[in-house]
């Protein structure tokens, strides 16, 4: 059996879909559905069981779950605006430590989600160099909680026994429940559908024109393929960036959405809220050299390809979920 924590979430449900594409359905999903719409991400997917995250560690320790081949630990509080530091430490650090200790003690493949938020403002670069982990300075408590787990693994000499993935700007199906944390691709589609126009923040940096701020956008289907590849290659371990290695502008993204919707480009540049101006990142780009050193032949889909697939095959459909 495979275990996917956060399996009802955006990337987690995408991973379950990917495993189903490969004929695998002996999957235990661990999550906390609560009153969210995440349950819709599971409809149409094939898996053996669902367990609430509060019951999972007890069942794991009791041996009730049987033989486990791998644990994909994607469950976390991923809100970059969450201010409850105690909650983030308990949920993102302590829970992860217990799960990693169990997996490593039992010889179970352990693949987990770190985050590009650990890089902070990017002034120290975006290189997944494990020797420079202590130099990183996350800007929010979410990023710091992820960073603390990376550091814990390093201090305990465990990074060469697990895979940690630092996801950059992921977009794609099954993110609909995420509210303000949805990707700009998703938000743009519905904004354009309603108004025929897309609003983007103005730039306040002399090196970047309006809408020319850059991000490393990566399609969720690339992420899920790469996660299954790491599972199938247990000889490869460490922390790896998961972006495309190619920064694109918000204008590029906007044009890709308008093109997929077969509509003329209509962008309005608006003032950025004052509370964001001092924290805004004008450039992110994953250094993918380490990844390509272990998987040199992988080809990421372009921003335009990913947006087109997302818009036409999901957002424009009556039932926009993977697996349906």
Catalytic entry in 53, 97, 178, 182 = 178
Question: Cα 154 to the chain's mean position, in Å?
Answer: 22
Check if the beta carbon of residue 3 is closer than 8 Å to that of residue 67. no
Determine the Cα–Cα distance for residues 151 and 121; give it in Å rounded to an integer.
Answer: 19
178 is catalytic: yes
142 is catalytic: yes
Determine the Cα–Cα distance for residues 202 and 231; give it in Å rounded to an integer.
Answer: 42
Q: Is 171 helix (H, G, I), strand (E, B) or coil?
A: strand
Determine the Cα–Cα distance for residues 38 and 8; give it in Å rounded to an integer.
Answer: 6
Strand 267-270, strand 198-201: pairing = parallel
Catalytic entry in 119, 142, 189, 219 = 142
Buried b (16+ CB within 10 A) or exposed e, 189-225: beebeeeeebebbebeeeebebbbbbbbbbbbbbbbb
Q: Is 303 helix (H, G, I), strand (E, B) or coil?
A: helix
Check if the beta carbon of residue 1 is closer than 8 Å to that of residue 63. no
- Residue 168 CB contacts under 8 Å (≥ 6 apart), including other chains: 116, 215, 216, 217, 218, 241, 242, 243, 244, 284, 286
Strand 214-215, strand 109-113: pairing = unpaired
Active site residues: 142, 178
């Amino acid at each position: 059996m495979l275990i996917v924590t956060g399996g009802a979430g955006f990337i987690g449900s995408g991973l379950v879909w990917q495993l189903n594409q490969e004929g695998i359905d002996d999957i235990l999903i661990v999550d906390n559905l609560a009153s969210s719409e995440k349950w819709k991400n599971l409809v149409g997917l094939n898996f053996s069981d669902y367990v609430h995250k509060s019951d999972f560690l007890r069942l794991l320790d009791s041996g009730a779950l049987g033989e486990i081949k791998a644990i994909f630990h994607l469950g976390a509080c991923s809100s970059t605006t969450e201010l409850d530091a105690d909650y983030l430490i308990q949920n993102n650090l302590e829970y992860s430590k217990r799960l990693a200790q169990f997996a490593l003690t039992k010889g179970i493949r352990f693949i987990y989600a770190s985050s590009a938020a650990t890089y902070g403002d990017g002034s120290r670069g975006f290189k997944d160099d494990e020797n420079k982990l202590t130099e990183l300075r996350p800007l929010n408590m979410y990023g710091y909680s992820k960073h603390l787990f990376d550091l814990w693994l390093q201090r305990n000499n465990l990074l060469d026994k697990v895979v940690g993935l630092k996801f950059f700007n992921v977009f794609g199906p099954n993110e609909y429940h995420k509210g303000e944390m949805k990707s700009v691709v998703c938000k743009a589609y519905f904004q354009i559908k309603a108004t025929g126009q897309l609003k983007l923040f103005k730039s306040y940096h002399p090196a970047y024109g309006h809408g020319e701020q850059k991000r490393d956008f990566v399609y969720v289907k690339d992420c899920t393929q790469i996660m299954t590849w790491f599972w199938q290659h247990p000889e490869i371990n460490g922390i790896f960036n998961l972006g495309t290695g190619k920064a694109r502008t918000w204008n590029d993204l906007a044009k890709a959405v308008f093109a997929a919707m077969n509509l003329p480009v209509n962008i309005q540049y608006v003032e950025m809220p004052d509370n964001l101006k001092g924290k805004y990142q004008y450039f992110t780009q994953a250094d993918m050299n380490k990844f390509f050193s272990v998987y040199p032949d992988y080809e990421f889909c372009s921003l335009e390809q990913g947006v087109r697939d997302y818009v036409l095959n999901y957002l424009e459909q009556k039932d926009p979920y993977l697996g349906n």
